[in-house]
Amino acid sequence: MLEPISPTISLSAVAAPAVTLFDLVEKAIAELKPHLNRDGGDIELITIEGDMVVVDLTGNCTGCILASVTIAGIRKKLIDAVGRPLKVVPLSATTIRRKVTQ
């Protein structure tokens, strides 16, 4: 006697939602927030323009002499998450650069 065939769904037939660069960067930054919050700082993703990620460092990160070290660590985390080179620029540097070039 033949066994009835149960319907199955091929996993390759189900389309996975597209993950954007913005999604990957946003997730990586969310993972970094608790570390910055612990020291009284915070980070917000402002925009992504090509390979440049603009972030706003706030709280104790504002004016901190180690902000460049923090930016370097953020950059490494984002590159690991995305798998390609990125520039991480704090909002204040972007604002200053735009004012100078206008």
pLDDT at 99: 47
Sorting pLDDT into bands at 50, 70 and 90, what band is 101?
A: very low
Cα–Cα distance measured from residue 31 to residue 19, given in angstroms and rounded to the nearest whole number: 17
Cα–Cα distance measured from residue 19 to residue 37, given in angstroms and rounded to the nearest whole number: 27
Residue 2 dihedral angles phi and psi, to the nearest 5°: -80, 140
For 36-83, the pLDDT digits (tens) are: 999 999 999 999 999 999 999 999 988 889 989 999 999 999 999 999
Radius of gyration of the chain (CA): 21
Q: Which domains does the chain have, with CATH numbers?
A: 20-101 (3.30.300.130)
